[in-house]
Amino acid sequence: CDIILADKGAKFNTAFINIGLAPGCGTQFVTQLVGYHRACELILTAKTFSADEACEMGVVNRVVDDLDFAVEEEVEKFRKLPPIAVGLAKKLINESLRNDMFSHLELESRLASFSAATEDFKEGVTAFVEKRKPVFKGV
């Protein structure tokens, strides 16, 4: 998931230990997300934690009162963004977890050049100059 919202009443835990089972998924992800010691606490003790705690740990981005409304707001934001640039940015974020700095800078340069040749980029610059909201088409 790229952006994670949680209802204020949500509770989280990793309950595998409680039934005598080694965790079957997520240990690498959780450890990378919250760090080694916090992961040990959550996974080894099957500690239940609140949405606010999840937000403090970086497990979720935001805690909201009305999840459905907040999701719709988030979706609406993405509908207005340039799809090519968003896709390339997501690729860069994902690749940053694997690449060394030099390789990643090369990839950024290639993808920036690619996106600079799109109609969406031209529209974005034109809209900025004309002081209006851009209308992106994904081309």
Along the 139 residues of the chain, how does pLDDT read in single tens digits?
899 999 999 999 988 999 999 998 789 989 999 999 999 999 999 999 999 999 999 999 999 999 999 999 999 999 999 999 999 999 999 999 999 999 999 999 999 999 999 999 999 999 999 999 999 999 9
Phi/psi of residue 76, each to 5°?
Answer: -65, -40
DSSP code at position 63:
E
The CA–CA distances, whole Å, from 109 to 89, 90, 116 equal 12, 15, 10
Q: Mind listing the domains of the chain with CATH numbers?
A: 5-77 (3.90.226.20), 81-129 (1.10.12)
Q: Write down the pLDDT at residue 96.
A: 94
